[in-house]
Amino acid sequence: MRPQRREFLALAGAVAAAAFPPSAFALDYPARPVRIIEGFGGGGTPDLISRLIAQWLSQRLGQPFVVENKTGAAGNIATETAVKAAPDGYTLLTAVSANAINPSLYHNLDFDFLRDMVPVAGLIQLPMVLLVNPSFTAKSFREFLAYAKAHPGKVNLASPGIGTPMYVAGELINLMAGVKMVDVPYRGPAGAFTDLLANRVQAFIITVPAAIGFVRAGRLRALAVTGTRRADVLPDVPTIGEFLSGFEATAWDGICAPKGTSAEIVNKLNAAINAGLADPQLKAKIKGLGGETMPMTPQQFGKFLADETAKWDKVVKFSGAKAD
């Protein structure tokens, strides 16, 4: 190609770029399928909510949004995959509570979640509940705290594993109430339920949807929920915050994108997702998962992520837990 022609084409490209700023290209987004990376696998709430929002976005934006499960390392494999993806809006991440907890537990990560990901939108919050065996001496959360204070190290609190929202919720009780419950980690909730029902552990914190069947059947007693308000399905069960002012611990999910993704694409996704969270049919499906919708602007979700990370950093340091 002759030099004059190359120079002409370069100039033409520059003029075109100036004439069509990033916002113009974002109007065509998405022009091909988008993948949503999810780190915990089929059947769990993050996977289910990812598939619900993917279906909504596919219908709303006219291109397939496909959920891709990349499990392992408490969600760190999925997060690293998203961090390394091109910041073009075609790879998104289902961000979860673990993303705010892991930075304090894992000290050899090749990424910084808050630095390397861009907040797009909140999706869902799941309240949790503190359960005891009906034969346990404490019949209320007030009595439970009194017993734990009088018997330090004697209350065995089951959790689905170090670093889960349930684990840090228990440690937050220890921190705020000045008690010393002993964490008993399991490889998921099934073993914890078995041992709580058999009275081999004294208490367990788990999401309300997972617990409600045992509570309604009278097999387990719900003492308190961990959110800022009482759960609709457990209206007579108080919040922990009614006894420990400022207490809040929830499991949550949202959507993030790799750092460098344009604001125009982020805002387009945010508007589409928030429209979904307001849609009566999708809202009903989310409520069916036991959760509450969490509509936020990207800025609000970013502040939420930073606040959660700072809160759990203090709790993890207090607990002394490490994952590597």
CATH number, position 166: 3.40.190.10
Same domain, 122 and 260: yes
Residues of the chain above pLDDT 90, percent: 81
Mean pLDDT (the chain, rounded): 91
- pLDDT (0 to 100) of residue 3: 47
Residue 176 has pLDDT above 50, yes or no: yes
Within-domain flag for 309 = yes
Q: What is the mean pLDDT of residues 280-284?
A: 94
Question: Tens digits of per-residue pLDDT, 151-163?
Answer: 999 999 999 888 8
Specify the DSSP class assigned to residue 67.
Answer: E
Residues 10 and 66 sit within 8 Å (Cβ to Cβ): no
Same domain, 36 and 93: yes
- pLDDT (0 to 100) of residue 42: 76
pLDDT band at residue 221 under the 50/70/90 scheme: very high
Specify the DSSP class assigned to residue 242.
Answer: G
Residue 8 has pLDDT above 70, yes or no: no
Question: Tens digits of per-residue pLDDT, 223-266?
Answer: 999 999 999 889 999 999 999 999 999 999 999 999 999 999 99
- pLDDT (0 to 100) of residue 324: 66
Question: Tens digits of per-residue pLDDT, 60-107?
Answer: 999 999 999 999 889 999 999 999 999 999 999 999 999 999 999 998
Token pair belonging to 230 = 């009482």
Is 22 or 51 the better-scoring residue by pLDDT? 51
Same domain, 131 and 116: no
Same domain, 120 and 135: no
Token pair belonging to 192 = 């914890």
Let me know if 147 is exposed, middle or buried by CB neighbors in 10 A (0-12, 13-18, 19+).
Answer: middle
List, as one string, the DSSP characters of 262-320. Answer: -HHHHHHHHHHHHHHHHSHHHHHHHHHTT-EE----HHHHHHHHHHHHHHHHHHHHHHT
CATH number, position 111: 3.40.190.150
Task: From 213, 242, 271, give the residue that closes a domain.
Answer: 242
Residue 216 has pLDDT above 50, yes or no: yes
Reduce the DSSP state of residue 250 to 3 states and report it: strand
Residues of the chain above pLDDT 70, percent: 92
Same domain, 259 and 122: yes
Within-domain flag for 324 = no
- Burial code of 99-132, b = ≥16 C-beta within 10 A, e = fewer? bbbbbbbeeebebebbebbbbbbbbbbbbbbbbb
Residue 317 has pLDDT above 60, yes or no: yes
Q: What is the mean pLDDT of residues 114-127?
A: 96
Q: What is the mean pLDDT of residues 194-220?
A: 95
Q: Which domain holds residue 204?
A: 127-242
- Least confident residue range of 7-11, 63-67, 194-198, 270-274: 7-11
Q: What is the mean pLDDT of residues 24-34?
A: 83
CA 90 to chain centre: 21
- pLDDT (0 to 100) of residue 25: 52
Within-domain flag for 2 = no
Same domain, 285 and 230: no
Half-sphere exposure (Cβ direction) of 48: Cα atoms closer than 13 Å: 14
Give the chain's domain count. Answer: 2
Same domain, 195 and 97: no
Taking each helix axis from N to C end, the angle separating 97-105 and 76-83, rounded to the nearest 10 degrees, works out to 100
Same domain, 260 and 112: yes
